[in-house]
Every structure is written in structure tokens, then in C-alpha cells.
């Protein structure tokens, strides 16, 4: 059964927007020097101020914002330009986000020993994008399309 790539692109758009809001909130709070409030579990401060919260001085949350924005913009291109190749790029990129989410969950649970709910939400959005990405790449394989080099394929309504 063929996947409706337009619906997948819309789903990528929505999920990546939610991830962008979450990651951008954390990045803004980082630059403001404010610890985001954690109401259910106490651990946001420990996680967001740990040495793992930045890479070469850049907040991990800002990198997450860029990742989600990239997925969002590629999804817009799928819908606006009606070219599936952008959807395949999203599929590939979602794997990077998923690996990052696994790494940061590992750090929270086993190294920092604290949980940040905002970070867990980001991991859930990354995982959702990854599952959708697998569906896209599987449909590419099953249909014999050659992924990012495929041009001018019109999306079904």
C-alpha cells in the first residue's frame, strides 16, 4: 500500500514545529540564564546546567532548534514544490535526530542522573520523526525510487 506523502509531510511539519517550540524555549532560557521550571520531576536545572548542555559553547537546545527548523522547512518544500526528494531528505535527517535523542537520554538517566521533561519531550518528538522517516524510506525502497536524486515527482492529493 502506497503511503500518502502529502499527509506524511503535514505530520512532519506539525511534529517538527512542536519540537522547534520546545528546543527554542530551552535555548532562549539558556541565553537568559534562567532555569526552566520543572513541575512534575525535579531535574531540569541539573540537566540544563550540566556540562553536557553545551557543545563547544553552543547550547544543545539551539542545535535542536536548528534540527527541527530544518525538518520543518524541508516539509514546507515538500508541500509547496510537490517534490518527494525533500521528504526523503527529512527521512534521512530524522535518523540523526533520533541518535542524538538516544544519546541525551542516556546522559540524563545514567550520567547526570536527572530528568528534564522538556528534553524528554524533545526525545519523543525526535523519535516520532524517526518512525515517520522510516516509513518514508521504506516506501522509497518498496517503490524503487532513488530518494534525494528523484526529481519532479508530483505528490498525490
pLDDT in tens, 21-54: 999 999 999 999 998 988 777 788 999 999 999 9
* Helical H segments across the chain, by residue range: 5-32, 44-48, 60-81, 85-106, 117-143
Cα gap 109→142, rounded to integer Å: 38
Given a cut of 90, whether residue 139 has pLDDT beyond it is no
Burial of 111 (0-12, 13-18, 19+ CB in 10 A): exposed
Between 97 and 142, name the one with better pLDDT: 97
pTM over 0.75: yes
72 and 86 in contact (C-beta within 8 Å)? no
Cα gap 8→89, rounded to integer Å: 13
Q: HSE (CB half, 13 Å, CA atoms) of 132?
A: 28
Min mean pLDDT across 45-49, 127-131, 139-143 is at: 139-143
Q: Can you give the length of the chain in residues?
A: 157
For residue 140, what pLDDT is reported?
77
The chain-wide mean pLDDT, for the chain, equals 88
What the chain holds in terms of domains, given with CATH numbers, is: 5-144 (1.20.1440.130)
Q: Is 41 helix (H, G, I), strand (E, B) or coil?
A: coil
Amino acid at each position: 500500500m502506497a503511503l500518502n506523502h502529502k499527509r506524511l509531510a503535514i505530520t512532519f511539519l506539525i511534529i517538527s514545529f512542536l519540537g522547534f517550540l520546545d528546543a527554542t524555549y530551552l535555548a532562549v532560557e539558556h541565553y537568559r540564564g534562567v532555569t526552566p521550571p520543572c513541575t512534575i520531576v525535579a531535574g531540569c536545572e541539573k540537566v540544563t546546567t550540566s556540562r553536557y548542555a553545551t557543545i563547544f559553547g553552543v547550547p544543545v537546545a539551539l542545535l535542536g532548534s536548528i534540527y527541527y527548523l530544518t525538518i520543518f522547512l524541508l516539509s514546507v518544500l515538500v508541500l509547496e514544490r510537490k517534490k518527494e526528494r525533500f521528504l526523503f531528505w527529512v527521512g534521512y535527517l530524522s535518523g540523526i535526530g533520533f541518535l542524538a535523542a538516544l544519546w541525551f537520554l542516556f546522559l540524563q538517566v545514567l550520567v547526570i542522573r536527572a530528568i528534564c521533561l522538556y528534553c524528554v519531550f524533545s526525545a519523543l518528538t525526535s523519535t516520532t520523526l524517526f518512525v515517520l522517516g522510516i516509513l518514508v524510506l521504506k516506501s522509497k525502497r518498496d517503490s524503487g525510487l532513488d530518494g534525494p536524486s528523484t526529481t519532479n515527482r508530483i505528490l498525490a492529493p
